[in-house]
Amino acid sequence: MKTNLKKALGLAALSVTLLANTIPTWAGFVTTSLVSIGGNQVSRWASGSMEDARYSADSRQQIGCRAQILSTYSWTTCYATDSAGRTLLCGSGDWKFLETLRGMTDSSQIYFETNSTGSSGACTNIVIANSSDLLK
């Protein structure tokens, strides 16, 4: 009985040691950027990081953009849903927005604006941020 207990404790110690070595204690400056949607009387905006949306506690949040090149024109769209289920979509055929999306990564923080007070409208601004504090 005593031997079994010793063995069990030994195994547990081994496991903990190995686990402790495999999970690094990450520090560094960190920013959490969950999806938020806001607006005023003339426009609406959405903001959030890809990773914080993907790994948020709820199952609603999402944010992202699509860069689409068709036969004669481009069509860029950005879409966001916050934790309350509010959504915002913007779309534009302006190449300048497609250019911006080319700098997106898996950890990017996205900010976009529409000229509408509804849940969708034309894109009036798209900003991408790539920074160490957004990495998981």
Give contact residues for another protein (rule: CB under 8 A): 7, 11, 14-15, 18-19, 21-24, 26-31, 96-97, 99-100, 102-103, 105-107, 109, 124-135
Q: Which is nearer to another protein, 18 or 42 (CB)?
A: 18
How far apart are the C-alpha atoms of 129 and 89, rounded to whole Å?
Answer: 19
Q: Which is nearer to another protein, 5 or 59 (CB)?
A: 5
Q: Give the H/E segment covering residue 5.
A: helix 2-22
Compute the least distance from the CB of residue 87 to another protein, in Å. Answer: 22
CA dihedral sign, ordered 55, 44, 69, 109: negative
Compute the least distance from the CB of residue 8 to another protein, in Å. Answer: 11
Compute the least distance from the CB of residue 84 to another protein, in Å. Answer: 26
How far apart are the C-alpha atoms of 124 and 126, rounded to whole Å?
Answer: 7
With beta carbons less than 8 A apart as the criterion, state whether 44 and 116 touch. yes
